[in-house]
Amino acid sequence: MNIPAITHKIAISSLFLLLLGAAGVRFHWFHFQIGLLMFSLAALLSFASICASALFTRRIQSPLGRRQLSQAALMALPAIIFFSLSLYRGAGAPLIHDISTDTKNPPQFIMAAQQRSPNDNGLEYAASDIPLQRQAYPDIHSIPTLLPLNEAQSKALSIAGELGWEVYYQENGHIEAFVRSYWFGFTDDIVIRINQTASGSIIDLRSASRVGKGDLGVNARRIRQFTEHYLQ
């Protein structure tokens, strides 16, 4: 059995599955769950090739065999790194995909339904998610500001642009945008509601994933990021 050659092929397979899974989901070649399965399989093959490389490099006498094992370890790194980062960033995140700063009266989407396909998640805010969100993200809350509504909205639009959000609809006190994830191109919709108050305005956000039951904490992090920028 030529272990270095087999390990080398396994590493190539892990890299191929990693790239194909991401491209397939981003360009809608197949269902996103197939892409996630390929992503998981790529990580498994990556782990196997790295372990084999570590185990057999010193035992193989052939320079070619050692070189193949070293190359295999390098080619396998991307899949295991991306997979590990995903697990790390999503650790502890509840299985929800719709996060709002106002859980009692969440901002409502106006145009997002036209941006989504029939197979995407619905836009009705699930009351059953409220205790899960409050337990996992107790820091997610409305943003008070001393700015009047028009200035608060201008600032919100500016921050949305800085964060890479694509605004597709706005009216007085209401903004809707979407953003795509870097690797798979998953799309999330965001709505910003701005209400005038006696002392200025209050801003509420809602970020909802178009697909998937869980979001690995992405929507909460997005709202936190916006809040940090706004309060600077």
Percent of the chain exceeding pLDDT 70 equals: 100
pLDDT band at residue 1 using 50, 70 and 90 as cut-offs: low
Q: Which of 169, 114, 185 is nearest to 177 (CA)?
A: 169
DSSP-assigned states of every residue in 160-197: HHHTT-EEEEEETTEEEEEEE-SSS--EEEEEEEEEEE
pLDDT number for residue 110: 96
Does residue 207 contact residue 219 with C-beta atoms inside 8 Å? yes
Q: Give domain 98-231's CATH architecture.
A: 2-Layer Sandwich (3.30)
pLDDT of residue 62: 86
Rounded CA-CA distance 221/144 in Å is 19
At 85-108, the pLDDT tens digits run 998 888 889 999 999 999 999 999
Q: In whole angstroms, give the CA distance from residue 133 to residue 101.
A: 10
Q: Where are the alpha helices (DSSP H) in the chain?
A: 3-26, 32-56, 63-90, 112-115, 130-136, 149-162, 218-231
Query: For the whole model, what pTM was predicted?
Result: 0.87
pLDDT, tens digit (0-9, with 9 covering 90-100), for 33-77 = 999 999 999 999 999 999 999 988 888 878 888 889 899 999 999
**pLDDT at position 205:** 97
What is the per-residue pLDDT across 123-172, written as a single tens digit (0 to 9) for each?
999 999 999 999 999 999 999 999 999 999 999 999 999 999 999 999 99
Distance CA 47, CA 73 (A): 9
Determine the pLDDT at residue 75.
Answer: 94
For all residues of the chain together, what is the average pLDDT?
94
What is the DSSP-derived secondary structure letter of residue 124?
S
